């Protein structure tokens, strides 16, 4: 049971880390769009792209934060399972 939970937590952590990387890439793309819009003199489009870049940056940080929390829970579950195994024998 605990091994299954630990595995699920580990997979959840990896998924969140992948999402974080995706948001980082999207943030970079939005920043490039901001630069292009500013070069063209289109301030309204630049603002929209800047807002999107900020949102992607925030989402990336949230994913990293949640991945760290889930990883901590996974470590505690694994430690608990190991303790039970030691106490059982």
Q: How far apart are CA 42 and CA 22, in angstroms?
A: 27
Q: List the domain range (segments joined by +) for residue 20.
A: 2-88
> pLDDT of 19-57, one tens digit each?
999 999 999 999 999 999 999 999 999 999 999 999 999
Could you give the number of structural domains in the chain? 1
List for the chain the helix, strand, coil content (%; round to 5): 95, 0, 5
Could you tell me the pLDDT band of residue 85, with boundaries at 50, 70 and 90?
confident
């Amino acid at each position: 049971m605990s091994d299954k939970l630990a595995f699920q937590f580990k997979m959840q952590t990896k998924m969140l880390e992948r999402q974080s990387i995706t948001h980082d890439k999207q943030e970079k793309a939005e920043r490039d769009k901001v630069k292009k819009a500013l070069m063209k003199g289109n301030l309204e489009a630049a603002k929209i792209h800047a807002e999107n870049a900020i949102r992607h940056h925030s989402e990336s940080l949230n994913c990293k934060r949640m991945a760290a929390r889930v990883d901590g829970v996974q470590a505690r579950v694994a430690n608990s399972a190991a303790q039970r195994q030691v106490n059982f024998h």
